[in-house]
């Protein structure tokens, strides 16, 4: 069993599967093209194993708990092209644990992108008939799957970022906030705004709670890829509250502590937009930086929108969280076909 270490920010036990610290790279050509004073990219896509991404920090904490509980098989649910499921399957392979993914088929059952990687990492995949990501019926199905393994003498452990694992997941990104503050110190400048694209909002909850608790003045701006802003804001502050309770700290995140814009969701969660495709092309052309059109491309498109609406100002120094999601570029290659984009940068 791999040894755990104590995380100094949260005091929790963690694994060290992710390769940290991830780089913070200056992106001067992209900054100029976007029309902002300074831009750096936090390269969570380089977090080490299984093509990286923002779930690896959370897994270092969640899987320390799983190992402490004696788990030998990890079970979770999400969409069939979930970056989280692929990350969990990769971690399970590294730890020599079983992994059962119970997936919603809305993004297809074709063996491409993350689903191909799940298969390569040796995960068992089943599909649920539940289609609504917020339907709790799927939690009952996972409980039944876990009971089946337990009946065979296995030790199943259910991981669910928007459920049982949420508070610990927030702690993973609180620890990431401490790492970023060291990055800022080394860089000699604290950015005005940090931009992250949000699904559940778990990563942003951890970053915002961490910055508040540790006294960093950088303001978080979340670009929603999934949920309307009011629902996302409420979920972030209540889930950050669960983490405060878990850690027994008096710092509480309120809805005034961070900003959310939800202008980039269309045409829907997991679907590319013309603006996200243009943003992927812009990042590629200016920095050789690989984004995807359903998460980080929407985040970058959100920066363009925020500059237009005044939420971001040209004099701002910005850090963008590259949260991973690289397989999504290849699953959505058709969104880039048939046009030669010569688009000029946003003014
Ligand atoms: C999961 C994911 C997100 C969203 O993270 P949350 O913590 O759920 O808000 C953003 N980008 C990528 C690439 C992801 O895989």
Q: How many CA atoms lie within 13 A of 8 on its CB side?
A: 4
Ligand 1 touching residue 323 (CB < 6 A) = yes
| Cα 186 from chain centre | 24
DSSP lists the bridge partners of residue 221 as 195, 259
Helix axis angle for 83-95 and 55-68, nearest 10°, is 50
Topology alike, domains 4-53+165-336 and 55-159: yes
Q: Which residues are catalytic?
A: 82
Enter the pTM of the model.
Answer: 0.96
Closest-lying ligand 1 atom to the alpha carbon of residue 198:
9
Look at phi and psi of residue 327 and say left if phi exceeds 0, alpha if psi is from -120 to 50, else beta: alpha
The pick from 53, 173, 229 for probing ligand 1's pocket by mutation, whose C-beta has the most ligand atoms within 8 angstroms, reads 53
DSSP label at 111? S
CATH number assigned to the domain covering 55-159: 3.40.50.1100
Give residue-wise pLDDT tens across range 269-299. 999 999 999 999 999 999 999 999 999 999 9
* pLDDT on residue 346: 47
**Domain range 4-53+165-336, CATH architecture:** 3-Layer(aba) Sandwich (3.40)
Which portions of the chain are predicted below pLDDT 70?
338-347
What are the two backbone dihedrals, phi and then psi, of residue 271, each rounded to the nearest 5 degrees? Answer: -120, 135
Nearest to 39 by CA among 53, 29, 54: 29
* pLDDT on residue 338: 67
- Ligand 1, atom 15, lies closest to the CA of 83
Q: Report the greatest alpha carbon distance in the chain.
A: 62
* pLDDT on residue 132: 83
Give residue-wise pLDDT tens across range 47-99. 999 999 999 999 999 999 999 999 999 999 999 999 999 999 999 999 999 99
Ligand 1 touching residue 297 (CB < 6 A) = no
| pLDDT over 90 percentage in the chain | 91
* pLDDT on residue 136: 83
* pLDDT on residue 344: 55
Helix axis angle for 166-187 and 55-68, nearest 10°, is 130
* pLDDT on residue 15: 98
The pick from 299, 324, 329 for probing ligand 1's pocket by mutation, whose C-beta has the most ligand atoms within 8 angstroms, reads 324
- Residue 49: burial class (beta carbons within 10 Å; 0-12, 13-18, 19+): middle
Q: Delimit the domains of the chain by residue range.
A: 4-53+165-336, 55-159
């Amino acid at each position: 069993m791999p040894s755990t270490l104590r995380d100094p920010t949260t005091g929790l036990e963690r694994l060290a599967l992710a390769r940290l610290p991830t780089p913070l790279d200056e992106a001067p050509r992209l900054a100029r093209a976007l029309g902002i004073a300074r831009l750096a990219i936090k390269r969570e896509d380089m977090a080490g194993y299984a093509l990286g991404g923002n779930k690896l920090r959370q897994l270092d904490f969640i899987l320390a708990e799983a190992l402490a509980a004696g788990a030998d098989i990890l079970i979770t649910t999400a969409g069939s092209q979930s970056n989280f499921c692929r990350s969990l399957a990769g971690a399970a392979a590294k730890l020599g644990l079983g992994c059962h993914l119970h997936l919603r088929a809305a993004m297809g059952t074709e063996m491409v992108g993350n689903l191909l990687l799940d298969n390569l990492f040796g995960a068992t995949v089943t599909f649920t008939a539940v289609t609504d990501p917020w339907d709790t019926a799927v939690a009952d199905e996972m409980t039944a799957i876990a009971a089946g393994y337990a009946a065979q003498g296995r030790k199943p452990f259910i991981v669910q970022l928007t459920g049982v694992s949420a508070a610990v997941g927030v702690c993973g990104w609180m620890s990431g906030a401490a790492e970023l503050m060291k990055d800022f110190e080394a860089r000699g400048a604290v950015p005005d705004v940090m931009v992250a694209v949000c699904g559940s909002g778990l990563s942003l909850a951890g970053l915002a709670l961490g910055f508040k608790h540790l006294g960093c003045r950088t303001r978080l701006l979340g670009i929603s890829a999934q949920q309307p802003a009011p629902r996302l804001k409420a979920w972030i502050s209540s889930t950050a509250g669960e983490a405060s309770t878990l850690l027994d700290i008096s710092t509480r995140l309120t809805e005034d502590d961070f900003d959310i814009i939800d202008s980039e969701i269309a045409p829907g969660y997991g679907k590319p937009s013309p603006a996200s495709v243009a943003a992927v092309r812009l990042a590629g052309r200016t920095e050789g930086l690989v984004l995807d059109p359903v998460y980080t491309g929407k985040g970058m498109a959100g920066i363009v929108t925020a500059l237009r609406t005044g939420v971001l100002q040209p004099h701002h120094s910005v850090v963008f969280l590259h949260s991973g999601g690289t397989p999504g570029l290849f699953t959505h290659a058709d969104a880039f076909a048939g046009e030669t984009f010569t688009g000029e940068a946003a003014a």
